[in-house]
Amino acid sequence: MAWFIAKRAVALALTLVAASLVVFGVLEVLPGDPALLILGVNAREDTLAALRESMGLDQPAHWRYLAWIGGLLTGQLADSLTYDVPVTELLVPRIAVSLPLALMALTLTVALALPLGVLAAARRGRAADGAIMGASQLGIAVPNFWLGILLILLFAVTLRWLPSGGFPGWEAGVGPALAALIMPAVALALPQAAILARVTRSSVLEVLGEDYMRTARAKGLSQGEALWHHGLRNALIPVVTIMGLQFSFLLAGTIIIENVFNLPGIGRLIFQAIGQRDIVVVRDLVVLLAAMVGVVNVLVDLSYAVLDPRLRRGHLRGAHG
């Protein structure tokens, strides 16, 4: 088991290094001079040179890369070009928005999709199955930002139950903060729940056709008992894979949703930073997002080992006849 984790951790580290190299490389190629950006077009050449020198822009590329990685690992991130404060300061309040939003969306997705997917499979071909699959077909086709706009139209503009956007901050109390996050979370979650429900349904259907389910029925278990005791755990394995992928879709989704609801989160920050060519913020955030996705993927792999003993205990039977 330990070997299993070690292998996954090394793979994650390698992927992150590769990701950081790619991001660094892409931003190096970026046209435009950060110093010019900060001091404006009509700054004098010597002040520009001094600024570049202080930011170490004149150092060779590999030095700057190592310095950047050093900073990342030790937590001292460079100053943002636009706000002239360390990126960490920009980051912390925004994580307090984006992370709860992503977690709320993921919980909503799973809470909606799993029961509906299993129900649709158990009632295959009947009304419940048709309705759930129809709704999920629609859910997949709806762009999350349009859903956000519709939610604003309904709950904020017409019914005035919820704020139409913005974020009061956690200091203003959990209630108002959550109220500001509900609609964005729903907008993010519904399309993902539609996808997860379909995956769950097809996974359960496949499991229902397996021989060991027939063995369970032959033992005297009812359809429901066989599904509960034998089916669900086997059906979960492919579902967990999709959940891992969906977490990265959710993160990406925050970029747009935080724009629709103008929430001060990571998504909005990275969008603005890209717009303003603030390569320092962009670099750090992209690697942070990639790290979050990477960690989730490792967690998904670990849950495989928990769910499926064949991975834990290795494979005694060789494949060659």
Partner 1 sequence: MVETPTPTAQTMGGRRLAATAWAGGAVAALVLLTALVSLVWTPHDPAAMDVANKLSDPTGAHPLGTDHFGRDVLSRLMVGARVSIAVSLVAVGLGAGIGVPLGLLASARHGWIDEAVMRFNDLAFAFPALLTAVLITAVLGPGAVNAILAIGIFNIPVFARVARGAALSLWTRPFIQAARLAGRGRTRISVEHILPNIAGALIVQGTIQFALAILAEAGLSYLGLGSQPPEVSWGRMLNEAQTFLFLDPRLAILPGLAIVVTVLGLNLLGDGLRDRLDPRLDTRRADGGR
Partner 2 sequence: MTDSRPVLEARGVSRAYPLPRPHPLAPRPVRHAVADISLTLARGESLGIVGESGCGKSTLARLLTALEPPDAGTVLIAGRDPNALDKAALRRLRRSVQMVFQDPMGSLDPRWPVWRIVAEPLVGLAPEVARADRRARVVEALAAVGLGEETLTRYPHQFSGGQRQRIAIARALVTDPDIVVADEPVSALDVSVQAQVLNLFLELRRRRGLALLFISHDLDVVRHVTERIMVMDRGRVVEAGPTAEVLARPAHPHTAALLAAVPRLDAAWTGRERRAAPGAVTEHSPSRHR
Partner 3 sequence: MALLEVSGLGVDVAGLTLLDGISLRLDRGGSLGVVGESGCGKSLTALSIMGLLPPGLRPRGSVRLDGADLLDADDHALCAVRGRRVAMVFQEPMTALNPVKTIGAQVAEGPRRHLGLSRRAAREHARAVLHRVGLDPSRVSPDQYPHELSGGQCQRVVIAIAVACGPALLIADEPTTALDVSTQARILDLILDLVADEGMALLMISHDMAVIAETVTDMAVMYAGHVVEAGTCRRVLGDPRHPYTRGLMDAMPRGSGRPGEPLAAIPGTVPPPGAWPAGCAFRDRCPRADAACAIRPPLVADADGHAVACHRPFGAGERS
307 is an interface residue for partner 3 by CB under 8 A: yes
The Cα 247–Cα 303 span in angstroms is 15
Q: Please choose which of partner 3, partner 1, partner 2, none residue 101 contacts, taking the beta carbon within 5 to 8 angstroms, the exact cut-off set by kind.
A: none
- CA triple 296-260-85, angle to 5 deg: 70
Q: Please choose which of partner 2, partner 1, partner 3, none residue 233 contacts, taking the beta carbon within 5 to 8 angstroms, the exact cut-off set by kind.
A: partner 3
Identify the CA nearest to 103 among candidates 247, 310, 212, 241. Answer: 247
Among 47, 76, 107, 223, the residue binding partner 3 under the rule CB under 8 A is 223
| Smallest gap from residue 47 Cβ to partner 1 (A) | 27
Query: Is the CA virtual torsion 271, 272, 277, 280 positive or negative?
Result: negative
138 is an interface residue for partner 1 by CB under 8 A: yes
Nearer to partner 1, 91 or 256 (CB): 256
Sites for partner 2 among residues 300-319 (CB under 8 A) = 314-319
DSSP state of 78: P
Which residue reads 């359960």 in tokens?
204
Nearer to partner 1, 170 or 259 (CB): 259
Q: Write out the two tokens for 64.
A: 């700057």
Count CB neighbours of 272 within 10 A: 14
Nearer to partner 2, 62 or 317 (CB): 317
Contact 191, 142 (CB under 8 A): yes
215 is an interface residue for partner 1 by CB under 8 A: no
Identify the CA nearest to 233 among candidates 199, 204, 205, 211. Answer: 204
Among 70, 115, 143, 166, the residue binding partner 1 under the rule CB under 8 A is 143
| Smallest gap from residue 319 Cβ to partner 3 (A) | 12
Identify the CA nearest to 201 among candidates 305, 120, 84, 311. Answer: 120
| Smallest gap from residue 313 Cβ to partner 3 (A) | 6
Q: Please choose which of partner 2, partner 1, partner 3, none residue 52 contacts, taking the beta carbon within 5 to 8 angstroms, the exact cut-off set by kind.
A: none
Contact 210, 234 (CB under 8 A): yes
Identify the CA nearest to 257 among candidates 268, 246, 273. Answer: 268
Q: Write out the two tokens for 102.
A: 């992503």
| Smallest gap from residue 98 Cβ to partner 1 (A) | 12
- CA triple 215-219-221, angle to 5 deg: 100
- The site that binds partner 2 (CB under 8 A) totals a number of residues, namely 9
Which residues here bind partner 1, judged by CB under 8 A?
A: 11, 15-16, 18-19, 22-23, 26-27, 29-30, 125, 137-138, 140-143, 145-146, 149-150, 152-153, 157, 245, 248-249, 251-253, 255-256, 259-260, 270-271, 274-275, 282, 286, 289-290, 293-294
